Amino acid sequence: MTLEQEKELMPPPYEAGMASVCKDLDKSRPTANTQHNSNSSSNNIAKHSSNSNNSNSKQSKSHKRKESSLPLGERHLAVLRQELMVFLGNSGVLGSGMVVSMPSVTLNQLCDNTQPFWLSKDEASWFASINNMACPLGGLMVSFFLDRIGRKYTILLTNVIGLIGWLLLATSFLYTNRDYIYAQMLVGRAFGGIMIGMFVSPVGVYSAEISLPRIRGRLILGTSIGLASGILLMYVLGYFIRHNVVLIASISCAYQLAATLLVMPMPESPSWLLQKGRIELARRSLRYFRGLQRRDDDCVPEFEAELTQMKMTADNSRDTAASESIGQAIRRPEVYKPLLMMIGFFGFQQACGVVVIIVYAVQIAQTAGVTIDPVLVAVMLGVARIITTFFMSSIFERWGRRPAGIFSASGMGICMLLLAAGGWLPETVGTWSWLPVVCIVAHIVFSTMGMLTLPFIMISEVFPQSVRGSASGVSVFFGMILAFICLKIYPNMEAWLGTANLFAFYACVSFLAALFILSFVPETRGRTLIEIEEHWRMGRRGRRAQRASAAAVNNLKDVELHEVFLKK
């Protein structure tokens, strides 16, 4: 057997080692065979390279097989497209976060009576809270526009309203009359509040309608990430730009303009297009979000099945909406039950003091006895919030919505109790200078894990498609009214109760919120929007009967199987 034949029979893993042996043998051969040996060595290298390419090819094929086993909406290209469009939609939400936290970094300057323009305590409270008074109007507007002009154009309109608000704030100091300055600042803040109220639901609804259940929570969470990023950005601007409200507002205005332009490339939600009877546009939109070419004529059975299911749901929603009035719709259990639940959820969210701590972060840090720069504490809160928000996707997918909400509310209650203890026992607990900072940062972390983010996620999941826009808008309307009340009365409550007792009040409400979530908030993780709708329609008795029926069927199967074994 020749040397070349031996190498041909050698298994691939040993070829590299065999190459060196071949080289030694070739050296001991006559010079006449040098060319032949060179060709043999080249063939060996080529075979090794071929085996390496085959290995890479096998890995690539394995990856493709794994990719092809996933549903269309969970494949790499589809998820990438969904995330990109949700990111563009949420770019404007960042501007909403900046509106929320602006008073925290500007009130110290605006209330400084040594400045040419300054606000009284009552005027400052209006400046801080008027955006929340306008938020309910935004909630009602979004309930009107979301189902009429679509998800994309509602997001675009919301950005334009926010841009007007920032423009009014940036140009307010062009006047010399104090009353004109103050009035334009309030109007600008009010436009910002309308933007906040409108931004709560459209991007979340858009995210829920373009995605499958396994990644829905991650996409909907983008709204919370955008809000947290905006809050942090405003804190950072306030830390580096002291005593210059106009510059802060101008930077915010420039960003809002960019966010408005970023909405343009977004496709419309296929669910909304189907509900309006625009089947061809819906097909193209869904193909894009499932990683397919928009204009391909090839028939993908999985895609066609999903499109058919969505069309049936849209037809049912359209028929239901056409055949019943608002009063009839709200009497359906799948409408009024989630609506009452969400109103209660938003109520506990605001009564826990979540938004109060965001807006009055600097002032609360000062009254709690924080010894470091309060604006730096606000920046720390913003960093803690956004880091926690990035982890919320995995927390919601592993724990579920309800456990995360219960854990969040309980942790907030503990933090508030410790802050109250620092005020009640200044000789002992009050001497721990690090306690207020730790408690405030921990409170932000716990609130972001559930109470701050969860209601905004669930309004995109719990309502039927036929009333999703209007019902989510009504929920936001009530939530924002409560936010305005809580922000407006915070200075008075602090004066009446004292700082420590007010913290204790927030702690009690937080513990009650945990009980509310345990009792009334359903788990939506891993469920399709149709399954969630069926959950409300059946009610507890219906679900118990369904579980009992399933258990009876399983028991019957076990008995039949046992009898078969006995016969054998």
With cut-offs at 50, 70 and 90, classify the pLDDT of residue 326: low
SS3 of residue 126 by DSSP: helix
Is residue 358 a contact partner of residue 490, using CB atoms and an 8 Å limit? no
CA distance 362 to 365: 5
Query: Which candidate, 254, 251, 288, places its Cα nearest to that of 273?
Result: 288
pLDDT at 439 over 60: yes
Place of tokens 């405003």: 234
DSSP letters, 491-560, are HHHHHHH-HHHHHHHHHHHHHHHHHHHHHHPPP-TT--HHHHHHHHHHHHHHHHHHHHHHHHHHHHHHHH
Is residue 154 a contact partner of residue 142, using CB atoms and an 8 Å limit? yes
Residues in the chain, total: 568
What is the average pLDDT score of the chain? 79
With cut-offs at 50, 70 and 90, classify the pLDDT of residue 50: low
How far apart, in Å, are the Cα atoms of 480 and each of 221, 254, 355, 468? 20, 26, 10, 18
Q: Which residue has the higher pLDDT, 534 or 114?
A: 534
Query: Which candidate, 413, 71, 404, places its Cα nearest to that of 224?
Result: 404
CA distance 90 to 518: 30
Q: Which of 203-207, 211-215, 336-340 has the lowest mean pLDDT?
A: 211-215
pLDDT at 65 over 80: no
Query: Which candidate, 41, 96, 468, places its Cα nearest to that of 252?
Result: 96
How far apart, in Å, are the Cα atoms of 222 and each of 62, 124, 188, 200, 391? 32, 31, 26, 11, 12
pLDDT at position 32 is 43
Does domain 72-314+330-527 fall under CATH 1.10.10.60? My reply is no
pLDDT at 509 over 90: yes
Place of tokens 């608000």: 165
pLDDT at position 75 is 85
pLDDT at position 396 is 76
Q: pLDDT tens across 472-506, in order? A: 878 878 888 888 888 888 888 888 988 889 999 99
Query: Which candidate, 561, 548, 424, places its Cα nearest to that of 498?
Result: 424
Domain boundaries of the chain, sorted by first residue = 3-68, 72-314+330-527
Alpha helix positions (H), 202-332: 202-210, 213-220, 222-240, 245-262, 270-275, 279-289, 301-323, 326-330
Per cent of the chain over pLDDT 90 is 26
Q: Return the DSSP state at 268.
A: P
pLDDT at 163 over 90: yes
Tell me the one-letter amino acid at 430: G
With cut-offs at 50, 70 and 90, classify the pLDDT of residue 19: very low
Q: pLDDT tens across 266-315, in order? A: 999 999 999 888 999 999 999 999 888 766 656 788 888 888 888 888 88
CA distance 111 to 245: 12
pLDDT at position 327 is 66
How far apart, in Å, are the Cα atoms of 159 and each of 83, 163, 165, 472? 19, 6, 10, 19
pLDDT at position 8 is 41
Q: Return the DSSP state at 305.
A: H
Q: Return the DSSP state at 146.
A: T
Is residue 522 a contact partner of residue 535, using CB atoms and an 8 Å limit? yes
Q: Return the DSSP state at 360.
A: T
Q: Work out the widest C-alpha separation in the chain, in whole angstroms.
A: 107
Q: Which residue has the higher pLDDT, 435 or 231?
A: 231
pLDDT at 52 over 80: no
The reported pTM is 0.70
